[in-house]
Chain A
Amino acid sequence: MRFLFKTDYEDDIRLFPHSGYVFSYGTLLVLLVVAPFVLSSYLVSQLVFVCIYATVGVALLILTGFTGQASLGHAAFLAIGAYTAAYLQQFNVPFPVYFLVAGLLTGVVGALVGFPALRLQGIYLVIATISFAFIVEEILARWESVTRGNEGMRVKALQLLGTSISRDSPTFYFLCLAVLILTIVGTLNLLRSPTGRAFVAIRDSETAARSMGINVSLYKVKSFAISAAITGFAGVLFAHKLSFISPEMFTLQLSIEFIIVILIGGAFSLHGAVLGAIFIVMIDPFLTYLKDDLPGMIAGVAAALGAGSARAAHIQDSVAAFASANGLKGAIYGVIIVLFVLFEPLGLYGRWLKIKRFFQLFPLYKRATFKRQKIYVKSERNR
């Protein structure tokens, strides 16, 4: 066990509390840098998606996790970023310019969404953001002169410093990784300064935040704008990675996936956003595996247990029909959310903390360590 003796206020401000953190994050960074040269191109491609999803996850965390404003409209912010990039690219605007413009424009839209959201709480805010997402989806489908409607838009390979960066190249992966790391560091910086604390204050008690001199409306709008802008940046990378975008890619389901990222990641932590992103990206190949291999396996087991060949074939067919049924993905997401909320409310990161603590304290770990008890329950709150 390590005991930290704080001797300076700096000890509470710095990002890495002690050398152990530097070592483990340093190792992780080295592994991530080496990854594209070692892993298969498929896995690197998945890693790119992890980076993009994690970036959006962190953005959503700022708004939902830290400021307490739920949003189911982040697919729309992603779409605005992606379409801005695709549109500007047609006029040979250089990458750094349209990258920044996409982020800023999405940020402005986010702030505009933030204004009506000032008067809404909880479930009403969720409904408002869903409506916003539907409006954006509809505009993308109808505004054909700019977005080409349902035909979709092709996104050319990224041009940076005179070289073309293919969407499967390690360089593109490094770009996404850099954006993710910058987002995380920026968010950590925000959290250790007055703005981040104001966000958390608004989440926990708006009345108290106000009476401490926090302009609640201003900070809510700021939170919306920052969250949207980061999502816009991620949208540009998303567009380049997919190389083709159309309105039906930015549906409610995508927004729900982003919510799952932070919910399953859990514990309102940035670690959680990254873990959640890994989870959501890796669940797709898992579902494909389920679809392709599972029916055969179950039929094999049935045959081994003495079912006739006709019966085994029938089982294989029905399992296959079930595994490839429409909406199975949505149903699985639903089950996962319910299970996590019920049994692991702290999410994947909470589970990781428990495992870590188990080994730190071995053999003295007690299950009750992570039991939260409510000592005092509020009776009445000012709104």
Chain B
Amino acid sequence: MSYFRAENLSLHFGGLKAVDAVSFAVEKGEILSIIGPNGAGKSSIFNLISRIYSPTSGKIFFEDQDITQEPAYGIARLGIARTFQNIELFENATVLSNLLVGRHRHSTTQLWQELLFLPSVRACEKAHRRRVEQVIEFLDLEPYRDKLISGLPYGVRKVIELARALCSEPKLILLDEPSSGLNVEETGDMSFWIRDMKSELGITVLMVEHDMTLVNRVSDRVIALNYGRVLAMGSVTEVQHHPDVIAAYLGA
């Protein structure tokens, strides 16, 4: 049984089939990239997994558990974190509190305890902070701890979003175009981080990406999509040389 599995996943908006009977599996500890032209349904698949959309049909399994009916917040509690294509950070909060929100799924304190800020809450807060600091160190975010998001440049925000997802200590992370809007150097950093996430933190990665350099560098396997359907699946070179993929990108 696979670690994560999507079975015949479909999402229809009226007559438009954004995702059409897509099936794939992710093995534990691998980096799987989803590629495809604009509008191929890549981000829609992510939104289906994280339950922003509900699938028209099909099922999603994680660790042999059917999570198709799980509410959006429940997905994160199971250990699936995600980033967004158009950065969704908490704009008017500091970097630190953004990252601490990432710890939410691990918070155990009750409202009345928090109102009194009992020693137990204080201890929890410090424990959360310790984990957040590890992520800050991992992603070199030390200079930004107390800065407001609204004053930070795009590239840094992108990293902070990744950091927030990592703070929740996910088992599976969904990266929606991690390199979009980044320069060559930043994309290089990103590829190291993604590899380290797999090797050091043991996180399984599912990634949507356009930048083929990044895909080449990090992916174990690749899925190519077009018009909501799977065109090809396999190693990077296999998929890149698949006639249907070449046709989809270059037209033939």
| Per-residue B-contact encoding for A178-191, CB less than 8 Å = 1, 0 else | 00000000100110
A201 at the interface (CB under 8 A from B): yes
Complex CA distance for A282 and B208, rounded to whole angstroms? 58
Residues in B86-122 with C-beta less than 8 Å from chain A: 86-93, 96-97, 100-105, 107, 109, 111, 114-117, 121-122
The 8 Å CB contact of A214, one of B73, B117, B121, B157, is B73
- Which residues of chain B are within 8 angstroms of A10 by Cβ–Cβ distance? 126
| Per-residue B-contact encoding for A191-215, CB less than 8 Å = 1, 0 else | 0111111101101110111111111
Residues in A195-248 with C-beta less than 8 Å from chain B: 195-198, 200-201, 203-205, 207-216, 222, 226
Distance in Å: Cβ of A28 to nearest Cβ of chain B: 21
Stretch in B54-62, B77-85, B191-199 touching the partner: B77-85
Distance in Å: Cβ of A4 to nearest Cβ of chain B: 10
A-B Cβ contacts below 8 A, count? 136
Chain A contacts to B: CB under 8 angstroms:
9-10, 12-13, 186, 189-190, 192-198, 200-201, 203-205, 207-216, 222, 226, 268, 372-376, 378-382
Complex CA distance for A376 and B153, rounded to whole angstroms? 7
Pair A194/B114 contact, Cβ less than 8 Å:
yes
Pair A189/B91 contact, Cβ less than 8 Å:
no
Distance in Å: Cβ of B217 to nearest Cβ of chain A: 26
B25 at the interface (CB under 8 A from A): no
Q: How large is the interface on B (under 10, 10 to 19, 20 to 34, 35 or more residues)?
A: 35 or more
Pair A212/B76 contact, Cβ less than 8 Å:
yes
Distance in Å: Cβ of B97 to nearest Cβ of chain A: 6
Least CB separation from B148: chain A residue:
A372
B75 at the interface (CB under 8 A from A): yes
Pair A9/B126 contact, Cβ less than 8 Å:
yes
Given A200-B90, A207-B52, are A213 and B153 neighbors across the interface (CB < 8 Å)? Answer: no
Pair B84/A197 contact, Cβ less than 8 Å:
no
19 examples of A-B residue contacts, CB within 8 angstroms:
A13-B126, A189-B121, A192-B117, A194-B100, A196-B114, A197-B104, A198-B104, A200-B90, A204-B91, A207-B84, A212-B101, A213-B104, A214-B101, A215-B73, A216-B73, A372-B150, A376-B154, A379-B86, A381-B86
- Which residues of chain B are within 8 angstroms of A380 by Cβ–Cβ distance? 86
Pair A193/B117 contact, Cβ less than 8 Å:
yes
- Which residues of chain B are within 8 angstroms of A195 by Cβ–Cβ distance? 111, 114
Given A212-B102, A213-B105, are A207 and B88 neighbors across the interface (CB < 8 Å)? Answer: yes
- Which residues of chain A are within 8 angstroms of B212 by Cβ–Cβ distance? none
Pair A210/B117 contact, Cβ less than 8 Å:
no
The 8 Å CB contact of B88, one of A12, A203, A381, is A381
Which 8 pairs between the two chains have the least Cβ-Cβ distance? Answer: A213-B76, A213-B105, A204-B90, A208-B88, A194-B107, A193-B114, A189-B117, A210-B72
Pair A190/B86 contact, Cβ less than 8 Å:
no
Least CB separation from A14: chain B residue:
B122
- Which residues of chain A are within 8 angstroms of B154 by Cβ–Cβ distance? 375-376
B50 at the interface (CB under 8 A from A): yes
B42 at the interface (CB under 8 A from A): no
In addition to A210-B50, A380-B86, 19 A-B residue pairs with Cβ atoms within 8 Å of each other are A9-B125, A9-B130, A13-B126, A189-B121, A193-B109, A193-B125, A194-B109, A195-B111, A200-B101, A205-B88, A205-B89, A208-B89, A213-B73, A213-B74, A213-B75, A214-B101, A215-B73, A216-B73, A375-B150
Given A209-B101, A212-B164, A213-B73, are A204 and B92 neighbors across the interface (CB < 8 Å)? Answer: yes
Least CB separation from A376: chain B residue:
B154
Residues in B120-169 with C-beta less than 8 Å from chain A: 121-122, 125-126, 129-130, 133, 150-154, 157, 164, 168
| Per-residue A-contact encoding for B165-198, CB less than 8 Å = 1, 0 else | 0001000000000000000000000000000000
Distance in Å: Cβ of A234 to nearest Cβ of chain B: 16
Complex CA distance for A229 and B178, rounded to whole angstroms? 43
Distance in Å: Cβ of B246 to nearest Cβ of chain A: 30
Complex CA distance for A375 and B72, rounded to whole angstroms? 30
| Per-residue A-contact encoding for B24-68, CB less than 8 Å = 1, 0 else | 000000000000000000000001001110000000000000000
